[in-house]
Chains A and B, each alone.
Chain A
């Protein structure tokens, strides 16, 4: 039986992550809590807005209401990566070779490991940011589509157009597909080789959480009474195929998804605080946490694939040990 070690905090949890095996919980007030031989915490910002996990450097990159971009690593090592005055840092992303990117208004700024920065200004607001898994390339979700930039070269940006407001963005782990979440209840995808469109619609709610499965064959998403898991097994992605619907509940909505690090299993968090795990192959479900105080907003697996750190909008966070 899975067991839950609760950590009751005050405030909206934005992200959870394991750094050096220690579970961290980043809250909207800018304080990052951790369970490291007891409850400890570090204040990173006056107001936290955005986070991105940098797996290569085992750190969480954070953007704040205070206009700062910072990073916290294992052993409470904190550094300030950039400052943008009084502007909100609405989105951050981590890339290869220690590069990061952050968004303020209409500008996306890339900061390379050596501290050099480069600005990319757009006609409209930069809503979401993500680096491609390989090469120095990043994507910007924006109104009416996405833009790809090549910050290490003078290469021209590539515009991918699709009407509507695109807010979130993610590359498939093989770098072949780009998927955005939209202001309307839908995802949109592009096959990058030929720009072919993929429309992923039918959600009753906005999609706020997306997670690629271990080998990038599936994309799990929130925004429905079930986790909607799109197949990216064929060369054209999910086109013409139906998604899996895992963990369907009649009276609740999925608010957060996190795929298992190596197996085709997804942890599914709901708006009532319940968490389950579901297997793609047979849709078998295991209850991991009973409903709590608020909607699940963050989940992360540890490298040993045994624990999940979770957080909610009401602050009732914790760590699930799936081995019991």
Chain B
């Protein structure tokens, strides 16, 4: 039995109260997709969740005793996942619903840092629900709203019917400013096609960037609605207007920034020590990093991703004949020195 076959996928839903998390969760549980879910919630809420297997757990962040403040895990998740995995025949996947104020980082790190959890489950994607109407206010209130967006792989921009097209454009520009790497889906009543939030493989190095073929490619590409030919969902907002980088967001409470780097082929003797050093030194400030690296004399694309100090990389697939051997890397975090990152990244390029 290979590990990949037995690892249960885990989807993490983040988002503020009222953002539509419970609506989306109930859709995941009730739609006819033939999959059974175990759901881990913080509280059995007022609004019922209709599922056989719901576990309540108190969100509990544990710092690992290794002197690293960003090495945090969710102790309750370790316990609950361990318990669930002793009876694995009951479900095909796990959904973790977090509270509005939850920090998504320890949730994600649990799936990398705990050996038992890691051997039996795999993090599929972190999905953030965002209320288009109230996001500006949330960003003023709290750092968590921003963290949730910064950390997400998929952002469901919900309740778009409650804002004007201008407001929607501003909100989306703000989200893009915080997280240029996530897929954004505009919806009303959390009506996003479920295949855009489930089974994404966002942390799977072989798949991570396949889901997003335009990763850091074109600055004016709109990521919304990447539907296949057989897509039959309702395109409420099919106006593919482009978001505009360089146009300042009208919402000024953003402390997370992203640094997108592009370069040619890298010298592996320089690149790997560099990424190691950056993540060791800047780890606490780095929420996510993702990249495709072209390594000189290597026929394969190398993909890399990280959470704080945890960084993973692997050969993904061979470069296609018509593909430009180009390295692309994005850091999302706080207090990042963009100039220095760019300079030191450029210095890793092969001569």
Contacts and interface: CB of A to CB of B under 8 A. Distances in A.
Contacts of B79: 90, 125, 127
Given A28-B86, A165-B75, A183 B55 contact: no
Contacts of A173: none
Contacts of B78: 183
B60 A143 contact: yes
A134 interface: no
B76 interface: yes
A206 interface: yes
B176 to A, nearest CB: 37
A11 B65 contact: no
B64 interface: yes
Contacts, number: 60
Contacts of A88: 55-56, 80, 83
A209 to B, nearest CB: 14
Interface in B58-98: 58, 60, 62-66, 73, 75-76, 78-80, 83, 86-87
Interface string A94-122: 00000000000110000000000000000
B65 A164 contact: yes
- B interface residue count range (under 10 / 10 to 19 / 20 to 34 / 35 or more): 20 to 34
A105 B58 contact: yes
Nearest to A12: B86
A184 B60 contact: no
B116 interface: yes
Contacts of B65: 163-165, 182-184
Interface residues on A, range: 20 to 34
Interface of B is mostly: mixed
Given A86-B44, A183-B62, A125 B87 contact: no
Interface string A55-67: 0000000000100
B73 A47 contact: no
Contacts of A40: none
A306 interface: no
A127 B86 CA distance: 18
A220 B258 CA distance: 50
Nearest to B80: A88
Given A88-B56, A90-B79, A106-B58, 9 more contacts: A65-B83, A86-B44, A125-B58, A127-B79, A164-B62, A165-B62, A165-B75, A183-B65, A183-B73
Interface of A: 11-12, 14, 28-29, 47, 49, 65, 86-88, 90, 105-106, 124-125, 127, 143, 163-165, 182-184, 205-206, 313
26 contacts: A11-B86, A12-B86, A12-B87, A28-B87, A47-B83, A65-B83, A90-B79, A105-B57, A124-B60, A125-B58, A125-B60, A127-B79, A143-B62, A143-B75, A163-B65, A164-B62, A164-B64, A164-B65, A165-B62, A165-B65, A182-B65, A183-B64, A183-B73, A183-B78, A184-B65, A206-B116
